[in-house]
């Protein structure tokens, strides 16, 4: 008897193979809180959800716990749909020797889960240790249709951040980048469905997909969307001529452009704008941000908050701000831009297909060329001097944000999977 018809399997089962790490939480397998929210949404659309991901080594988990930017971990058993969820722990094998050593047994484990699942959706990222890619290869061998999911153009992200890597790793990444690109394109061509987060991913990968779709992965709810009284209050504050409140929420890492962000704020301050700037988030460049703010003489205008675990406080900071200033340098699909427009905070930053696509229909954003922080600062200065225009952007951003809530986007993605993988 075919395994998928065995009584132990349910017909409406989805297998997700991702790079999201699993770890033990109080003796039980768990995931970060946002992934747990996503599992709840998946379980609203499928009878059973099986998620496979690499197990985080204990020494790395301990290091994360000691960091101020630590992740909030939850045992999956605590979720309301726990009886319909299953976690499959895969090897953490991002070193070639570990990948080779665990390849055969892991591929067999993936085969078993592929055979007993009706729907297959695999996240693709790198090359070595990327079990989503191996799941694609096994699905091809079994002649099973599968979906691929991308949330950033990984090879382009690596290419643009090569200069920040240690020399040995820089050489390795430089040599393997062409292979990664061809490998991913091959896996996409063999898939039955391509789910590409944001316009950057869609533009890069859709030419190789039989059935490409631009989708979004958000964790904002309808209740997070700014209400009309709050919009009116923000606009009233703007028109009264008070300080211009600027914010950003994300990691202080090179790909987020935190130093460009500070130079932008500095230029805005030099133009005589009464500005209050807030960066929420920790990261390796936070100490350098603090020293640069002092060096530029804007430490009294910039509030570097560091890590904040309470998501509602982060959203409140964005909701109370007039501009969400960003300097992203790579083709990724950061959720913070979605959270900003949901909060009625216009997105002003380096233009990309992703950022421009978020507000293409209703507006709510203004963009400068990539890496041109001087032009970006000039845009902020212009918006401050034309508060009526900025007020229009606030209302437009809120309108654009009404189309992004996790219930809607997960249902849309699930509907695509059921339609094209049947």
Q: Could you state, in order of their start, the residue ranges of all structural domains in the chain?
A: 3-218+406-420, 223-401
Going by C-alpha positions, the residue among 315, 258, 328, 309 that lies closest to residue 286 is 258
Q: Where are the beta strands (DSSP E) in 223-269?
A: 244-249
Question: What angle separates helix 131-141 from helix 96-115, to the nearest 10 degrees?
Answer: 50
CA-to-CA dists, residue 166 to 162, 173, 275, angstroms: 9, 11, 37
CATH of domain 223-401: 3.40.50.2000
**Longest pairwise C-alpha distance within the chain:** 76
Q: How many CB atoms lie within 10 A of CB 298?
A: 19
CATH of domain 3-218+406-420: 3.40.50.2000
Per-residue pLDDT of the chain (422 residues; tens, 9 = 90+): 344 344 344 689 999 999 999 998 888 899 998 899 999 999 999 999 999 999 998 777 766 655 545 578 999 999 999 999 999 999 999 999 999 999 999 999 999 999 999 999 999 988 899 999 999 999 999 999 999 999 888 888 888 888 888 888 888 888 888 899 999 999 999 999 999 998 889 999 999 999 999 999 888 888 999 999 999 999 999 999 899 999 999 999 999 999 999 999 999 999 999 999 999 999 999 999 999 999 999 999 999 999 998 889 999 999 999 999 999 998 888 889 999 999 999 999 999 999 999 999 999 999 999 999 999 999 999 999 999 999 999 999 999 999 899 999 999 999 999 999 98
> Residue 157 CA to chain centroid, in angstroms?
13
Going by C-alpha positions, the residue among 107, 101, 92 that lies closest to residue 20 is 92
Quick check: do 3-218+406-420 and 223-401 share a fold? yes
Going by C-alpha positions, the residue among 422, 272, 400 that lies closest to residue 338 is 400
Q: Is-contact 279 306, C-beta < 8 A? A: no
pTM (2 d.p.): 0.83
């Amino acid at each position: 008897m075919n395994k998928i018809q065995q009584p132990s399997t349910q017909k409406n089962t989805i297998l997700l193979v991702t790079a999201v790490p699993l770890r033990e939480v109080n003796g039980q397998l768990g995931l970060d809180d946002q992934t747990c929210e996503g599992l709840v949404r998946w379980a609203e659309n499928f009878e059973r959800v099986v998620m496979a991901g690499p197990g985080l080594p204990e020494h790395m988990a301990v290091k994360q716990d000691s960091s101020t930017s630590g992740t909030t971990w939850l045992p999956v058993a605590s979720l309301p749909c726990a009886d319909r969820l299953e976690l499959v722990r895969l090897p953490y094998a991002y070193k070639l020797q570990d990948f080779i050593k665990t390849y055969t047994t892991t591929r067999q484990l993936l085969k078993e889960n592929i055979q007993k699942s009706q729907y297959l959706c695999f996240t693709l990222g790198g090359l070595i240790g990327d079990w989503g890619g191996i799941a694609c290869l096994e699905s091809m061998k079994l002649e099973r249709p599968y979906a691929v999911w991308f949330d950033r153009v990984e090879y382009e992200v690596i290419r643009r951040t090569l200069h920040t890597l240690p020399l040995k790793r820089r050489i390795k990444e430089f040599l393997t980048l062409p292979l990664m690109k061809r490998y991913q394109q091959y896996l996409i061509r063999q898939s039955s469905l391509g789910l590409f987060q944001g316009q950057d991913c869609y533009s890069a990968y859709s030419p190789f997909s039989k059935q490409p779709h631009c989708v979004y992965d958000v964790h904002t709810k309808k209740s997070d969307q700014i209400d009309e009284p709050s919009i009116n209050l923000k606009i009233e504050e703007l028109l009264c001529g008070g300080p211009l409140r600027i914010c950003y929420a994300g990691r202080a890492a090179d790909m987020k452009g935190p130093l460009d962000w500070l130079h932008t704020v500095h230029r805005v301050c030099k133009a005589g704008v009464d500005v209050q700037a807030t960066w929420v988030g920790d990261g390796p460049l936070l100490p350098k941000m603090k020293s640069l703010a002092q060096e530029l003489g804007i430490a009294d205008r910039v509030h570097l908050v560091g890590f904040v675990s309470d998501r509602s406080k982060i959203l409140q900071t964005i909701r109370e701000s007039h501009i969400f200033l960003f300097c992203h340098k790579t083709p990724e699909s950061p959720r913070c831009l979605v959270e900003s427009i949901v909060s009625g905070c216009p997105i002003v930053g380096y233009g990309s297909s992703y950022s421009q696509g978020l507000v293409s229909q209703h507006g709510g954003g203004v963009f400068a060329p990539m890496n041109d922080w001087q032009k970006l600062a000039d845009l902020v200065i212009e918006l401050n001097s034309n508060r009526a225009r900025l007020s229009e952007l606030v209302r437009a951003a809120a309108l654009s944000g009404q189309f992004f809530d996790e219930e809607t986007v997960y249902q849309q993605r699930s509907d695509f999977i059921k339609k094209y993988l049947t």
